[in-house]
Structure 1
């Protein structure tokens, strides 16, 4: 199974969520590979830090760039149960190459007007990719939303997402919590920290369930 986490806007938390998903998937007993297509290499750095930690499953990572992403993902898919592909925050060769070989593409969106404006361009990119890869399904989830109950940016972003045809809102909202940043720096998921933040854990679990339960149900129906 290949899950692509990417988007056109930087700073939306793609790597943080890709690494959390990889850890949760690995803790389910799956053989997971983290594919880092971002030249910043943050996902690979996270995996390297994790190598030094006892008591957590090892998650191998590989860096792949350029047009080789397409062929490499196809080859690696046969060797692992799951690939989690972390694409950089821009319209890149790597992102486009990955989109043509995955059925599931997830786009984190911050609930700010500047980020919402990028969705129209992302919609066009998905439409172009679907012309080559008709099985591609793209979902959006809101990340780093304000935890303050009076801030309505998240709900306003949800309303805007209803206007798009090729990008579908997943129904998942994650909030801006320091637990995600602390876990990332230590090479673990928020669920693996010594004192897990229950809200952060519930939110990342909701994202995990939305991605993998939906994907596994779809694969079962196709079989």
Structure 2
């Protein structure tokens, strides 16, 4: 199974979600590989290196740029799950990965800056489906406020209802310190003590794999 984590905008939390889903899948016994498809940022490969050096179970990470279609088709035969962490912009890597992926997970923060990109993202998805009509798409509200009176999730869902082409996950991932800590430590939150963060990643992983 190929899961592409991508968006046209940077800073939406793609890399953090990628490594956390990978860690949860590894915990479940899956043979997982992460393909880092950003030619300028090494967030995931640095995390994987820190993970191995800290003695945690190794998660293989490879770096690849350019046309990813054939590469992903080959990796899909050799691993249970291939997670692709694309750059936060429109890129050749993202578009060619869309032609091979089974699922596109599109995280976005519940703020107007991220939501304003939705129309362009939907157009890109529709173009990809000309080459990969079986591509399943799931949007995710990520880094939501934990404030008890916050309405960002509710307001964002109302806005995104105008885009039925981009169904939004039932799971919401909130802005928790554990997510930054796990990136610093080479771990996933499922290996840490924050029960709420752990539950969010486990529910999200279940939703993505079932999508």
In which range does the TM-score fall when normalised by the shorter chain? over 0.9
Q: Distance in 1 between matches of 2:162 and 2:130?
A: 20
- Partner secondary structure for residue 167 of structure 2: strand
Scaled by the length of structure 2, the TM-score of the pair is 0.97
Give the SS at the match of 2:139. strand
What is the match of residue 178 of structure 2? 179
Q: Take 1:49 and 1:120, find their aligned partners in 2: how far apart are those partners?
A: 37
Q: Secondary structure at the match of 2:158?
A: helix
How far, CA to CA, are the matches of 1:149 and 1:46 in structure 2? Answer: 32
CA distance in 2, matches of 1:187, 1:29: 18
Give yes or no for contact 1:27–1:57 (8 Å, CA) kept in 2.
no
**Pairwise CA distance, 1:165:** 3.0
Per the TM alignment, residue 128 of structure 1 is displaced from its structure 2 partner at its CA by 0.5
* Alignment correspondent of 2:101: 102
Q: Does 1:61 align with 2:58?
A: no
Alignment partner of 1:91: what SS?
coil
Does the CA contact (< 8 Å) of 1:96 and 1:129 recur in 2?
yes
Give the number of aligned pairs: 210
CA distance in 2, matches of 1:111, 1:118: 12
Return 5+ residue gaps in structure 1 as ranges: 216-223
The answer (yes or no) to whether the contact 1:100–1:129 under 8 Å persists in 2 is: yes
Instruction: For CA contacts below 8 A with separation 6 or more, give which structure has more relative contact order.
Output: 2
Match of 1:199 in 2: 196
CA contact 2:24–2:201 (8 Å) conserved in 1: no
Task: Write the mapping of 1:105-124 to structure 2, written as runs, cut at 5 A.
Answer: 105-124=104-123
Runs of 5+ consecutive residues of structure 2 not aligned to the other structure: none
1:1-223 to structure 2, matched below 5 A, reads 1-39=1-39, 40-54=41-55, 56-67=56-67, 69-193=68-192, 196-212=193-209, 214-215=210-211
* 1:140 match: secondary structure: strand
Q: TM-score, normalised by structure 1?
A: 0.92
Partner Cα separation in structure 1 for residue 127 and residue 64 of structure 2: 22
Q: CA RMSD in A?
A: 1.0
**Which runs of at least 4 in structure 1 moved beyond 2 Å after TM superposition?**
none
Partner secondary structure for residue 36 of structure 1: strand
